[in-house]
Amino acid sequence: MRTTDHIDALRREGELLAHAAERAGEHTSVPTCPGWTTGDLVRHTGTVHRWATRIVAGSLPGPVREDPMPTAPAGAGLLPWYRDGHDALLRTLEAAGPALDCWTFLPGPSTPLAFWARRQAHETAVHRADAESARDGGLSSVDAAFAADGIDELLTGFHARPRSRVRTEHPRTLRLRPTDTDAVWTVHLARDTPPRTERSADGPADCELGGPAQTLYLLLWNRLPLDAATVAGDRALADLWSRTSGIG
């Protein structure tokens, strides 16, 4: 996807998040984020937006520690505060040029600008789904290309890092095959190394998850249950993903 596509997705997802949070109310529990209210979710996402804006606008080298979640604002000031941060992030990304040089923290797109536009689009999309789950559970759709891009970021970015907790006693393979895109991923799991993902369907797999890209995207982020997808092969391997793949 192009950087402009990610910025457009960030705009849309951020607006949907605010709308869902407004309808849910600040003190509603978020089923997909146990222990959080909608207010906590909005403050977290608004804080992350401001953190990313600070890094991009200041061309900051890293690592840059994430800003602490504020205890305020609350009540009527919360959503205007969130929207101000979301708008500032959009303006900052749109103003940044391809020569932007700043810190990034995942393998992925070739430029820092591409990285931050992509990361913030998916950060916001996942938390938009959280806000909608607090509202009424009805989820807005995203197109298959964006969902597949998010799957790729999660598998080849977050879970390529040593801190990924997805481990198996013996080598195993988990395959992800969306039904509405040509993308396929094969994730190689082991005991002593982080997951290694190939963008291919080569070789056998111990377990394969199938379904629309959006379903797999939210499932891999533990926003949907395994039963939302088709599971072929060793379901215990899919269950292990659900138990150990959370991103802290």
User: CATH second-level architecture of 3-135?
Assistant: Up-down Bundle (1.20)
Token pair recorded at residue 11: 């705009």
pTM of the complete model: 0.95
pLDDT in tens, the chain (248 residues): 999 999 999 999 999 999 999 999 999 999 999 999 999 999 999 999 999 999 999 999 989 998 887 776 889 999 999 999 999 999 999 999 999 999 999 987 789 999 999 999 999 999 999 999 999 879 999 999 999 999 999 999 999 999 999 999 999 999 999 999 999 999 999 999 999 999 999 999 999 999 999 999 999 999 999 999 999 999 999 999 999 998 86
* CATH 3.30.1050.10 intervals, the chain: 144-244
Identify the H or E element spanning 174.
strand 172-178
Separation between Cα atoms, residue 38 and residue 25, nearest integer Å: 7
User: Is the separation of the CB atoms in 122 and 150 below 8 Å?
Assistant: yes
Token pair recorded at residue 168: 């198996």
Upper half-sphere CA count for residue 142 (Cβ side, 13 Å): 30
CATH of domain 144-244: 3.30.1050.10
* CATH 1.20.120 intervals, the chain: 3-135
Output the DSSP codes for 49-106.
HHHHHHHHHTT--S--PPPPPPS---GGGHHHHHHHHHHHHHHHHHH--TT------S
